[in-house]
Amino acid sequence: MALIPQETIDQIRDTADILDIVSDYVDLKRRGRNFFGLCPFHAEKTPSFSVAPEKQIFHCFGCGKGGNVISFVMEYEKIEFVDAVRQLGKRYGVEIKAEQGDRSNKIFTLLYDIHELAVEHYEGNLHSKKGTKALEYLSERGFSEETVRKFRLGFASDEWDTLLTKVKGANFPMEVLDKSGLFAKSSKGRFDRFRDRILFPIVNLSGRTVAFGGRDFSGESDAKYLNSPETPIYNKSDILFGLEITRDFIRKERSIVILEGYTDFLQLFQHGISNIVATSGTALTNGHVNQIRRFADSAHLVYDGDEAGRKAAIRAGYTLTRGGVKPSLVELPDETDPDSWIREIGKEAFEKAIYDGIDVLDFHIIHSGYDLNKPADRSNLAQDISVELAGIKDPIIQQHTIRRVSNLLTVEDNVLINMIKRRSRRQRDQTNPDDYNSTNFSSPADKAQLELIRLLAMGDEAILSPLKEHISTDHFNHPILRKLADQLMIDEKMNFSQLLENFEETEHRNLVSKILFEAENHTTTFQATVDCIITLEKAPLKEQISEQRIKLRKLEQKGDDASHLLKEVISLQSKLNSLNNRRDELLNLEP
């Protein structure tokens, strides 16, 4: 197919004036530096649609749509990218010469190539002297050499730039390095993202490695797992670990076993259970369910036997139900995971547990924590369940589920139906229903990430300059914010209109445009910025302390020795307290 050269796209984007184009469709009025009008994409009475001429971007604070001049024409005219570029080119007199193939295809090819090089590099490390301890660890966990080699497990040594040196020697463009997700960046330059970790290659359905999951086995890292950020070739909401190998087994069974972790997957596969996938450290998404529905009609959720695992399993069960896949949930013993449990009880008993799994409603009720003898608790549980049922589009499935809930909770059908209708109306009335745009960044860590993104977008050197070496892309765990940080730390003064084209998914682009608009009139202080950095450094430690305290209480209740966990909590608390001194050190940098 004939495509448009990237340099032509850049020329058109930089030539076309977004205010000029949008004014053809919207009556805009100046308000400060920006222009506002009634949104052309949804009905409204009060103008919430804004155009920022200086940034050459638009955003509607009502429906959430946003982007640059090209995406505006695409959205309004309902045409493809190439047609929008041609339309703008014709208007501004830019000659368009089509060519076969395009730069973006080349970028994709290079991104696949750099990941293959990384797999070979890490795999070589694991089977060298550098990887001796990592191999011993895998062996102790019960993984055979055949499994290790089949899934091309690797090892990243505890050095800053071994992979970076290798890819530079292969002459990959810097653009590819920055988009690959394999490297982090600070004011001191690029460095390897994965260090001193066992690596699990994440492979797409075409058999190409697109990302990595890295597991700490030393016990010294704050984060047990570190995953690749989202990139042009990796969207974690769409890719299921191991599906490229197991899809034929799943298709044959028309049933799938869903796990959370890489080691859970490998252990079950090694034991001969093959209709499996893992979610690679993320919640089960609608994108995952769309993949699953192609191969299976039913799904068995086998998540960790702790509170977090059970809550995640319940959420996943309802996500499957809404997506038209019948779920069952497996109850694991307390504080066990699929990896350890199958080694303890064997394949036969494990398979029996899978197929003895229970319905998501029963599982939810068992682990709800409510006393169903109390009307108020039954009402609260019915409200919780109605939230999940409101998203079920199939009327037959919804009606069947309502009847089951009615019987289980002794609640009239019409009461549940009214609850669901209210919830459905609320969901429809939400101005911005998609997952990313409805993100409210409510936790302290989320707010701190957003604050640093705004600071980077503002480019306030008075604050940024003394703190640059203390801000890293590793501070950002929200995928869109991490990708934004990757871009802004490369060039804080970059063209925002061009930046938006790096976010190909409409919902991602909408969120980014909103953040960039909000950054425009944002103000902050040096002290607030330091507090953000410290908040993000404290977050993983607080999470670990919380997890260990839960385990500690359970051991104490059983009367077991918990001294080792108590020491670990004290050690973690000491690390947390030391960050207060680090805050004072950073504050001393204020110019």
| CB count in 10 Å sphere of residue 38 | 17
Taking the CA of residue 425 as centre, how many other CA atoms within 13 Å lie in the half-sphere pointing to its CB?
5
Least confident of 40-49, 187-196, 348-357, 418-427: 418-427
Length of the chain: 591
Quote the percentage of the chain above a pLDDT of 70: 93
Q: What's the confidence (pLDDT) of residue 436? A: 41
CATH superfamily of the 2-100 domain: Zinc finger, CHC2-typedomain (3.90.580.10)
Q: What's the confidence (pLDDT) of residue 469? A: 72
| CB count in 10 Å sphere of residue 502 | 17
Between 397 and 350, residue with greater pLDDT: 350
> pLDDT per residue over 212-225, tens digit each?
999 998 777 778 88
* Chain-centroid distance, C-alpha 516: 20
Give me 483's structure tokens. Answer: 């990708």
Least confident of 54-63, 301-310, 453-462, 487-496: 487-496
Between 475 and 310, residue with greater pLDDT: 310
List Cα–Cα distances, 444 to 88, 100, 452, 540, in angstroms.
43, 49, 12, 12
Q: Round the CA-based radius of gyration of the chain to a whole number and report it.
A: 26
CB 586 within 8 A of CB 533: yes
Question: Nearest to residue 517, comparing CAs of 39, 75, 71, 53?
Answer: 53
> Mapped to the 3 state alphabet, what secondary structure does 132-198 carry?
HHHHHHHHHCCCCHHHHHHCCCEEECCCCCHHHHHHHHCCCCHHHHHHHCCEEEECCEEEECCCCEE
Which conformational region is residue 317 in: left (phi greater than 0), alpha (psi within -120 to 50 degrees), or beta? alpha
**pTM for this predicted structure:** 0.61
Which CATH class for the 103-227 domain?
alpha beta
Question: What order do you get walking across the sheet with 197-203 strand by strand?
Answer: 154-156, 197-203, 209-215, 225-227
> pLDDT per residue over 545-567, tens digit each?
877 887 777 777 777 777 887 88
Q: What's the confidence (pLDDT) of residue 98? A: 57
> pLDDT per residue over 452-478, tens digit each?
888 788 777 777 777 767 777 777 877
Identify the H or E element spanning 453.
helix 444-458
Cα–Cα–Cα angle for 84, 85, 90, nearest 5°?
100
Question: Nearest to residue 205, comparing CAs of 152, 149, 245?
Answer: 245
List Cα–Cα distances, 56 to 21, 497, 500, in angstroms.
11, 6, 10
Say what the alpha-carbon torsion angle 398, 402, 404, 408 is, to the nearest 10 degrees: 150
CATH number listed for the domain at residues 248-429: 3.40.1360.10
Distance CA 409, CA 126 (A): 54
Strands (E), 193-233: 197-203, 209-215, 225-227
Q: What's the confidence (pLDDT) of residue 359? A: 92
CB 213 within 8 A of CB 227: yes
Between 354 and 102, residue with greater pLDDT: 354
CB 214 within 8 A of CB 223: no
Which conformational region is residue 380 in: left (phi greater than 0), alpha (psi within -120 to 50 degrees), or beta? alpha
Give me 368's structure tokens. Answer: 């709800």
Rounded to a whole number, what is the distance in angstroms from the first to the last CA of the chain? 56
Q: What is the DSSP string of 3-65?
A: E--HHHHHHHHHHS-HHHHHTTTS--EEETTEEEE--SSS--SS--EEEETTTTEEEETTT--
pLDDT grade, residue 494 (50/70/90)? low
Q: What's the confidence (pLDDT) of residue 434? A: 41
> pLDDT per residue over 93-115, tens digit each?
887 765 554 445 578 778 989 99
Quote the percentage of the chain above a pLDDT of 90: 36
